[in-house]
């Protein structure tokens, strides 16, 4: 498969629209999905002014990645669900109107809670953010 080019969301308004569209699709297959929005999208929704990257969603289980992949199956697929051994994560990436929309687990053994995407931290330390009139959970910091 040829590599699919992606771009970041242009601004906060486009980020809101992308999240709304993506989660409308996800809710049809995984209505109670437990997730955390992480990375630059999470930071932007918390009011930080920084260049946006893609949209990154952290989930607990590989079956959650597979459910999101099923929900986004009609979108172009940049990376089908797969184990990335060097990153210790099960990962998939789809392209929504040119923007990368990724979902992954992070399975690095970790007891500390001070990491954005590993260990118990993202599930214990998060904030609720609003996008397009929808409340969502996001990690309290950004990996940039």
Q: Write down all domains in the chain, each with its CATH number in brackets.
A: 12-139 (3.30.460.40)
Average pLDDT per run of 10 along the chain, which is 144 residues long? 81 91 95 90 87 92 97 97 92 96 82 55 69 63 37
Identify which of 96, 98, 106 has the alpha carbon closest to the alpha carbon of residue 39: 106
Instruction: Say if pTM beats, i.e. exceeds, 0.85.
Output: no
Scan for tokens 């597979």, then name that residue: 66
């Amino acid at each position: 498969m040829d590599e699919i080019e992606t771009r970041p969301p242009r601004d906060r308004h486009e980020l809101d629209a992308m999240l709304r569209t993506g989660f409308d699709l996800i809710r049809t297959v995984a209505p109670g999905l437990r997730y955390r929005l992480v990375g630059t999208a999470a930071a932007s929704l918390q009011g930080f002014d920084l260049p946006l990257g893609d949209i990154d969603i952290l989930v607990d289980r590989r079956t959650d990645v597979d459910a999101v992949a099923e929900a986004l199956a009609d979108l172009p697929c940049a990376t089908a669900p797969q184990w990335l051994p060097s990153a210790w994560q099960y990962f998939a990436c789809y392209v929504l109107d040119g923007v990368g929309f990724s979902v992954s687990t992070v399975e690095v053994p970790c007891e500390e809670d001070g990491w954005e995407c590993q260990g118990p931290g993202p599930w214990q330390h998060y904030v609720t953010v609003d996008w397009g009139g929808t409340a969502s959970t996001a990690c309290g910091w950004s990996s940039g």
